[in-house]
Amino acid sequence: MLKKVALLLFSAVLIVSCSRGIAVAEDEEALPEMMGGVYSLGKPESLEDSFSYVFGYMLASSAGVYGEAFDYQYMARGILDYSSGASFFTDSEMSGIASEYQREAMALAQQHFSSVSRENLADAEEFLSINIQRNGVKSTESGLQYEVLKEGTGEHPDSNSTVTVHYRLTLLDGTLADSSYERGEPSVFNLQDVIPGFREGVMLMNEGARYRFWIHPDLGYGQNAPTGIQPNSLLIFDVYLMGIDD
């Protein structure tokens, strides 16, 4: 089983290497005789063979997250050496190398995160400083900006209300980040469970109203944004308050 995984993974590595213009080493020791039949293999039919192929393909694919610092050839060599029982390093050395690389990768990731956070915050504040000058845009004391698209006629929710809303969330670059319309049904929220800017904005509305909110990062997700949204992103919500359930 392990030999099948190694064979198929190395096949994927060869393809990736060629696509990147990397010359694959022609070292007899690094390419055991078992490599000779890799390209003669057809599409796997059994579950075990299919899993072997998928495992190798996904491993090579996921390795790409490390960028140019990752060497696919050495990855393949490591798998083959494990299969044969050989290694360039002792177990202790390998543990140390993995730990050091992880520390460096985490430090670089944190630097990138901080840089993106600063840029997004600056972009948000610049946009809001201009947006507030538009006709129809108002601001609350907290800094929430909003525009009334259509007034409603019903009651106002309070901070503990459960509300039924349709909403669309877009980002500053126009990316659609979330939408109840796309899901085909409205969402139900208790206002205690949502971000501060959304809660404050919905409390300004009455049933049947449609508002647009521009939410500063401090009133939104801040640096703890969910997947698909960068840290300190400005949030733009279009909200239709359909009902209130106290």
Tens of pLDDT along 124-158? 999 999 999 999 999 999 999 999 999 999 889 99
> Is 106 part of a structural domain of the chain?
no
Query: Do 201 and 143 meet the contact criterion of CB atoms below 8 Å apart?
Result: no
Give percent above pLDDT 90 in the chain.
55
Residue position matching structure tokens 């929220």: 189
- Greater pLDDT, 118 or 42: 118
Together in a domain, 212 and 138: yes
pTM greater than the 0.75 cutoff: no
**Contact call for residues 4 and 44 (beta carbons, < 8 A):** no
CATH number at residue 174: 3.10.50.40
Residue 117 tokens read as 């956070």
For residue 204, pLDDT beyond 60: yes
For the cut 50, the answer to whether the pLDDT of residue 14 exceeds it is no
Over residues 155-171, the pLDDT tens digits come to 899 999 999 999 999 99
Using CA atoms, how far apart are residues 184 and 238, in angstroms rounded to an integer?
16
Q: How confident is the model at residue 68 (pLDDT cuts 50, 70, 90)?
A: low
* Residue 103 domain-assigned (yes or no): no
From the list 240, 16, 244, the residue with the least C-alpha distance to 148 is 240
What mean pLDDT value characterizes the chain?
83
Q: How far, in Å, CA of 235 to CA of 222, rounded? A: 10
With respect to residue 15, please indicate whether it lies within any of the assigned structural domains: yes
Residue-range definition of the domain harbouring residue 56: 2-88
How does residue 1 score in pLDDT terms, banded at 50, 70 and 90? very low
User: Is 82 in the same domain as 132?
Assistant: no
Contact 70, 64 (CB under 8 A): yes
DSSP, collapsed to helix, strand or coil, labels residue 48 as helix
